[in-house]
Chains A and B, each alone.
Chain A
Amino acid sequence: MLEKILVLLCLPSALAQHLCTPGASDGYKVRLSIKTALGDQAYVWNENEMFLFRATLAFAMRTHFNGQMYNVSNIVVCDETPRVSFWFVVTSPLDTSTLVDRKDVEEAVRKSRNRINSAFLLTDKTLEFIGIAPTLAAPVYPDPPPWLIVFGVVMGAVGAGIIILLVTSVLQKKRKKNEKSEGEDDEEDTRVKTVENGTASDGVYNMSFSDDERFTKM
Chain B
Amino acid sequence: MEKEARPSWDNPLQFVLACVSYAVGLGNVWRFPYLCQMHGGGGFLIPYFIMLILEGIPLFYLELAIGQKMRLGSIGAWTAISPYLGGVGLASVVTSLYLCLYYNVINAWSFWYLFHSFQSVLPWADCPINSNRTGFIEECETATSTQYFFYRQTLDISSSIEENGGIHTGQALCLLLAWGITYMFIVRGVKSTGKVVYFTSTFPYVVLFIYLIRGVTLHGAINGVIYMFTPKMEQLANPTTWINAATQIFFSLGLGFGTLIAFASYNQYNNNFERQAIVVSLINSGTSIFASIVTFAIYGFKATVNYENCLERTRLLLLNTFSLAEDSITVDSLSSWIDRLNTTYPEQFAELTNKLEDCNLERELDTAVEGTGLAFIVYSEAIKNMPLSQLWSVLYFFMLLLLGMGSMLGNVTAIITPLRDFKLVSNMSNELLNGLVCVFCLLLGLGFTTTSGNYWFTMFNDYGANFSLLFIVLIEVISVSYIYGIKRFEKDIEDMLGYRPNWYWKITWAGISPLLLITLFIVYIVNYIQGGTPTYQAWNKELGKSVVTEYPVFAQVFIGLLLVSSVSCVPLTALYVYCRKRKDGRLHRSQRTVSILSTQ
Interface residues of A (CB under 8 A from B): 31, 33-36, 81-85, 133-139, 146-148, 150-151, 154-155, 158-159, 161-162, 165-166, 169, 173, 192-202, 205, 207-208, 210-211, 213-218
Contacts and interface: CB of A to CB of B under 8 A. Distances in A.
9 A-B pairs closest in CB distance: A81-B323, A147-B115, A82-B325, A83-B323, A35-B326, A197-B420, A133-B134, A198-B426, A150-B115
A77 to B, nearest CB: 15
Contacts of A197: 5-6, 420-421, 426
What does DSSP make chain A's interface, helix, strand, loop or mixed?
Answer: loop
Interface residues of B, number: 65
A112 to B, nearest CB: 16
A217 B13 CA distance: 10
A209 to B, nearest CB: 11
A215 B272 contact: yes
A162 to B, nearest CB: 5
A208 to B, nearest CB: 6
Contact of A218 (B189, B279, B498): B279
Contact of B12 (A84, A162, A198, A217): A217
A218 B276 contact: yes
B493 interface: no
Interface string B151-193: 0000000000000000000100110110011011001110110
Contacts of B320: 31, 83, 85
B324 interface: yes
B593 interface: no
A40 to B, nearest CB: 12
Contacts of B427: 198
Interface string B461-498: 00000000000000000000000000000000000011
Contacts, number: 159
B537 interface: no
B39 interface: no
Contacts of A215: 270, 272, 497-498
Interface string B321-358: 00111111000000000000000000000000000000
A23 B539 CA distance: 42
A158 to B, nearest CB: 5
Contacts of B1: 208
A151 B173 contact: yes
B5 A194 contact: yes
Contacts of B325: 82-84
5 contacts: A84-B325, A135-B133, A155-B180, A197-B420, A217-B272
